[in-house]
């Protein structure tokens, strides 16, 4: 009976003392340093820990933007290499001198856009060229397609398709398709073709780019 009485009287005092110690510890806690505070000259065990910033989402957005810019830059560089290649220059020159192309497109044939985009594969090392890009003249515009391949490593390129796809729709085998003008005519005009030396070089036309070195 006596131990129970002593225990019942001692427990409230012990719990009150423990609560006071906890409140005392909480009151004596030192706030964590903030951004812009000076350097900590001493270590104290009662200093609160700083809050961990939630920067995961911000790093994810920054990484996504960086990857988009990187991929866009690489695609732009590769496209500029294509548009400045001799293949594009030869096909565009041949298109300007083609009677069929001039009949449909008119004069002054060049890229349809100020910054042309060359679609398709251009792998001269492995003998595969399959490209198409938009062109326009004084009359109309269309999409020029050029396909050529090399059978052997030391062989010559053979052109299998050189055509001009127009915006006009025709019915073929019950399906509506764009009208295609075949410019090849059985002979390959790209064997040994060279650009006309007397043709005026205009920035944005053909593959001419200004010589920055002077």
Q: 69-85 pLDDT, tens per residue?
A: 999 999 999 899 888 88
Answer yes or no: is 54 within a domain: no
Tell me the per-residue pLDDT of 40-51, one tens digit each, with 9 for 90 and over: 777 777 777 777
Q: Which residues contact 124 (CB under 8 A, 6 or more apart)?
A: 87
Query: Under DSSP, is residue 55 helix (H, G, I), strand (E, B) or coil?
Result: coil
3-class SS of residue 159:
strand
In this prediction, residue 117 carries a pLDDT of 92
Higher pLDDT, 84 or 197: 84
Residue 52 dihedral angles phi and psi, to the nearest 5°:
-85, 120
Is 69 within the bounds of a domain? no
Residue corresponding to tokens 């005519």: 185
With a CB cutoff of 8 Å and minimum separation 6, the contacts of 40 are 33
For the chain, how far is it from start to end, CA to CA, in angstroms?
111
Would you say residue 200 has pLDDT above 80?
no
- The region that residue 172 occupies, defined by phi over 0 for left and psi between -120 and 50 for alpha, beta otherwise, is beta
Provide mean pLDDT across the span 166-192: 77
User: Of residues 58 and 133, which shows the higher confidence score?
Assistant: 133
Split at pLDDT 50, 70, 90, the class of 204 is very low
In a domain, 100, yes or no: yes
Q: Would you tell me how many other CB atoms lie within 10 Å of the CB of residue 52? A: 6
Whether 124 is in a domain gets the answer: yes
- The confidence score (pLDDT) of residue 201 equals 44
Is residue 117 a part of any domain in this protein? yes
Q: Which run of H or of E encompasses 93?
A: helix 86-96
Q: Which residues pair with residue 61 across a beta bridge?
A: none
- At residue 183, the pLDDT reads 87
**Has residue 142 been placed in a domain?**
yes
- Assess whether pLDDT exceeds 50 at residue 214: no
Report which of residues 8 and 156 the model is more confident about: 156
* Number of domains the chain is built from: 1
Please indicate, yes or no, if residue 52 is contained in any of the structural domains: no
Rounded-to-integer distance, Cα 95 and Cα 102, Å: 8
**pTM of structure:** 0.59
Best-predicted range by mean pLDDT (10-24, 28-42, 122-136): 122-136
In sequence order, the β-bridge partners of residue 81 are none
Element spanning 121, H or E: strand 119-123
Instruction: Summarize pLDDT for 141-171 with one digit per residue, the tens.
Output: 999 999 988 888 777 888 888 999 988 888 7
Q: Show the domain range for 169.
A: 77-182
**Length of the chain as a residue count:** 214
Closest CA to 95 of 30, 53, 142, 40: 142
Domain-located, residue 96: yes
């Amino acid at each position: 009976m006596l131990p129970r009485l002593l225990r019942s009287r001692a427990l409230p005092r012990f719990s009150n003392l423990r609560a006071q110690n906890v409140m005392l510890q909480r009151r004596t806690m030192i706030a964590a340093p903030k951004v812009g505070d000076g350097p900590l000259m001493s270590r104290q065990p009662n200093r609160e820990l700083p809050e961990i910033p939630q920067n995961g989402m911000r790093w994810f957005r920054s990484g996504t933007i960086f990857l988009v810019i990187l991929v866009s830059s690489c695609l732009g560089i590769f496209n500029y290499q294509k548009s400045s290649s001799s293949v594009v220059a030869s096909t565009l020159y041949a298109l300007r001198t083609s009677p069929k192309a001039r009949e449909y497109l008119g004069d002054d044939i060049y890229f349809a856009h100020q910054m042309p985009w060359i679609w398709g594969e251009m792998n001269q090392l492995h003998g595969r060229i399959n490209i198409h890009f938009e062109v326009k003249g004084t009359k109309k515009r269309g999409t020029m397609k050029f396909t050529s391949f090399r059978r052997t490593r030391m062989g010559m390129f053979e052109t299998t398709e050189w055509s001009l796809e127009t915006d006009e729709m025709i019915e073929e085998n019950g399906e509506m398709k764009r009208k295609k003008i075949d410019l090849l005519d059985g002979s390959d005009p790209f064997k040994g073709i060279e650009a006309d030396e007397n043709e005026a070089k205009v920035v944005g036309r053909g593959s001419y780019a200004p010589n920055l070195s002077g």
